[in-house]
Amino acid sequence: MPASANPQEVTVPSALARNASAPRILAADDQQHILEAIELLLKPQGYKVDVVRSPELAREALASGQYDAVLIDLNYTRDTTSGREGLDLLSEIVAHDSTLPVIVMTAWGNVELAVEAMRRGARDFIQKPWENERLLSILRTQVELHRALQEAERLAAENRLLNAQGRPEFVATSPGMVPVLETIARIAPSDANVLITGEHGTGKEVVARTIHALSLRNSRPLVAVNTGGLAEGVFESELFGHVKGAFTDARTDRIGRFELADSGTIFLDEIGNVPPRQQARLLRVIESGELERVGSSRTKRVDVRVVSATNTDLKAACEAGQFREDLLFRLNTVEIHLPALRERREDIAVLATHFLSQYASRYRRQIKGLDPTALQLLMQYAWPGNVRELEHTMERAVLMCRAEQIQASDLGLSSPRGQAQNLEELSLEAVESILIRKALQRYQGNVSQAAEALGLSRGALYRRMEKYGL
């Protein structure tokens, strides 16, 4: 029973009024007239209110919906005053989502019960009959805090990704890239899922970033994740998030990559290396837009455009039973194939100049260009690591250059005639790089087979490939 009179006298909270989505409140109490009073108070203030009359129904509502705050009674069984039912429900809510504010209320309020509720994670305590202005003030504060915490969590995760991942420019002038450019221009503004195929280092992530930049989602984040480099044990946690206590090292709640990409784009690199058991979870999220964080039963909805990439033949993998055909259908609404750098040699000089300018500026080097001999060597080299290898080669050349122009010796490449140095003249890293290149060439870019031949785990080989620009 509210103590103050007319709820219409209270002004609508300005921050809530400005918010595009109305705050959603869950109220749980065993007395119908209390629930009706809450609805009469909150709905005119712009809140959406769901009401339930038992802890069991509250658990069901929380499992199926998302709320900005929860109001719960502490006693539900007639003639009980211990508050145990409400305190147990409070503990469960806080364990599932520590950012969701819970305000407890009871007609049997006392200091000890209030202290225990706050100790278990309640944000505030209301005694019935309540004062309308106090209840509205508490809700306004807690809803704004909840949304601020959610946004802070999202921005922190987004900033970590943006700081770790640069924004490469898309450079392409050769005739072989014309179909790629035309396809990007046609499909980028749509929400169609895109599968990008091509050898390692051909620029698949650059294409993904270009598609996102040209899409209607470009004001939201592009979240990139190397699915091939994720161990099976952390795959679901990385993509879908986890709640505190879900496993040994889960000390806090963590937002997953799909939630982080909500309303934006997620880029799933090396999609062909996703373990079969995880493919089903991935398919469900892509099909329904629904996911659960690890350790949580609460379903969350996300609106994400999926751009994926692989260097493997997924159709052959489907025939071999290594990749789900229904997942492939969901991923490749449109497929873009990137030619290897050796098939678009017209771009080598343009790309080399682009990377030279980029790294000369980064390292504050006064370098005017490429010596003709160095350019000839670039044009004749096989580039097994494609554009990524060219970029790393130019970065090294900028650092090694001692003249006004990049010399052939600065590139660290073998001669066009393929005359290799003696092993005694090479560093350990140079020998390792050569062996990895040869293994990748022998197995046509298949990382798993190359790793097995080299006696490395797939993850270890990925790290070395990144190190050597492969």
- State in Å, rounded, how far the first CA of the chain is from the last one: 70
Q: Are residues 172 and 316 part of one domain?
A: yes
* Average pLDDT score over residue span 220-224: 92
Q: Are residues 81 and 22 part of one domain?
A: yes
Q: What is the CATH number of the domain that holds 121?
A: 3.40.50.2300
pLDDT score for 28: 93
Q: Are residues 299 and 432 part of one domain?
A: no
* Average pLDDT score over residue span 374-392: 90
Residue 255 lies in domain = 165-337
Q: Are residues 205 and 305 part of one domain?
A: yes
> What percent of the chain shows pLDDT beyond 70?
86
Do the domain assignments include residue 159? Answer: no
413-456 pLDDT, tens digit each:
865 444 344 444 456 666 777 788 778 877 777 888 888 888 88
Q: End of a domain among 86, 118, 149?
A: 149
Would you give the DSSP letter of residue 55? H
Taking the C-alpha atoms of residue 338 and residue 250, their distance in angstroms, rounded to an integer, is 39
Q: Are residues 329 and 197 part of one domain?
A: yes
Do the domain assignments include residue 272? Answer: yes
Q: Are residues 300 and 285 part of one domain?
A: yes
Do the domain assignments include residue 83? Answer: yes
Is pTM, for the whole model, over 0.75?
no
Q: Are residues 431 and 317 part of one domain?
A: no
Tell me the residue type at 144.
E
Do the domain assignments include residue 1? Answer: no
276-305 pLDDT, tens digit each:
889 999 999 999 999 999 888 888 999 999
3-state secondary structure of 269: strand
Q: What is the CATH number of the domain that holds 434?
A: 1.10.10.60
Do the domain assignments include residue 246? Answer: yes
Do the domain assignments include residue 89? Answer: yes
Let me know: does 288 contact 271? Beta carbons within 8 Å: no
Nearest to 291 by CA among 234, 228, 238: 238
Q: Are residues 178 and 65 part of one domain?
A: no
Q: Are residues 131 and 19 part of one domain?
A: yes
50 vs 115 pLDDT, higher one: 50
**Total domains present in the chain:** 4
Nearest to 288 by CA among 296, 297, 280, 276: 280
